[in-house]
């Protein structure tokens, strides 16, 4: 575990986002369970199934927070024999979690320790999605789950993703989307409207939930974000809706 010095100047948005996540780091699971009624666990399972990590794959999880995606990738790699005593042990690098917020990372480090996941399988370090501390063409799979919405300049983050991916590498992202069915969309809007009140009761933190709802509304819809991915140079761009588009999984490949 290494927390590098953060040299990149933070935008106002970045500073505000950072405050939100510092305040929720310890109760992050409770908050997600409450706002998604537990369904975020299934979305994350589905996301990692779509990635289908294989032994030897260099995976970086951006905005990886407390490790929800990374731990699932570690399990999948483990099940695929990546760390079997026999062969590939030396060739499968640890899943690297990068996040801008040290409090989220610290919670992830604690969780890894209590789940018995050693640094040979998962590492945690400070990293800004807009200025990745990674060499060009060095990553096989770059994941980002519920992180892009918080990034000040998504186009810059996409350009960075393309820079660090190896040729043939994959970008896989999960984010809140637009609900397509009008009746479901109306129900979802009504639910969003009461979320801050729910947040106040469940987590004592209405502002964090208000931020959540606003950031979802402001984020591009599925078609628009696919366009941004193509503009950044990703190929074979696809989006898969989960739960009617409440959440969308975006996939694109480098070269």
> Is there a contact between 48 and 94 (Cβ–Cβ < 8 Å)?
no
The contacts of residue 210 (CB under 8 Å, 6+ apart) are 195, 196, 199
3-state percent helix, strand, coil for the chain, nearest multiple of 5: 50, 20, 30
In whole angstroms, how far apart are CA 11 and each of 8, 51, 233? 9, 31, 25
> Under the criterion CB under 6 A, does residue 99 sit at the interface with ligand SAM?
yes
Beta carbon nearer to ligand SAM, 60 or 239? 60
Which one of the spans 49-57, 77-85, 95-103, 199-207 is the region binding ligand SAM (CB under 6 A)? 95-103
> For residue 25, what is the DSSP state?
G
* Parallel/antiparallel/unpaired status of strands 235-242 and 247-253: antiparallel
> Under the criterion CB under 6 A, does residue 107 sit at the interface with ligand SAM?
no
> Under the criterion CB under 6 A, does residue 64 sit at the interface with ligand SAM?
yes
Residue of this chain nearest to ligand SAM (CB atom): 65
Which one of the spans 48-56, 97-105, 178-186, 193-201 is the region binding ligand SAM (CB under 6 A)? 97-105
> Under the criterion CB under 6 A, does residue 129 sit at the interface with ligand SAM?
yes
> Under the criterion CB under 6 A, does residue 176 sit at the interface with ligand SAM?
no
Binding site for ligand SAM (CB under 6 A): 14, 17, 21, 62-65, 68-69, 99-101, 104, 128-130, 145-147, 150-151
């Amino acid at each position: 575990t290494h927390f590098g010095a953060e040299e990149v100047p933070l935008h106002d948005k970045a500073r505000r986002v950072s405050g939100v996540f510092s305040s929720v780091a310890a109760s992050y699971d409770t908050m997600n369970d409450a706002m998604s009624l537990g369904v975020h666990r299934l979305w994350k399972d589905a996301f990692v199934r779509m990635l289908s990590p294989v032994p030897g794959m260099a995976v970086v999880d951006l905005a990886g927070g407390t490790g929800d995606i990374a731990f699932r990738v570690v399990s999948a790699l483990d099940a695929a024999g990546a760390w079997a005593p026999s062969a590939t042990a030396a060739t499968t690098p640890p899943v690297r979690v990068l996040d801008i917020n040290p409090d989220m990372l610290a919670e992830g480090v604690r969780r890894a320790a209590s789940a018995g996941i050693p640094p040979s399988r998962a590492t945690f370090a400070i990293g800004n999605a807009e200025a990745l501390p990674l060499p060009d063409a060095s990553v096989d799979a770059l994941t980002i789950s519920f992180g892009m919405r918080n990034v000040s300049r998504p186009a810059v983050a996409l350009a960075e993703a393309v820079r660090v991916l190896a040729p043939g590498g994959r970008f896989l992202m999960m984010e809140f989307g637009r609900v397509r069915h009008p009746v479901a969309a109306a129900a979802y809007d009504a639910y969003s409207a009461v979320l801050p009140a729910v947040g106040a009761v469940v987590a004592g933190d209405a502002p964090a939930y208000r931020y959540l709802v606003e950031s979802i509304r402001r984020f591009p819809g599925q078609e628009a974000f696919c366009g941004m991915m193509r503009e950044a140079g990703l190929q074979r761009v696809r989006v898969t809706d989960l739960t009617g588009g409440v959440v969308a999984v975006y996939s694109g490949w480098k070269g």
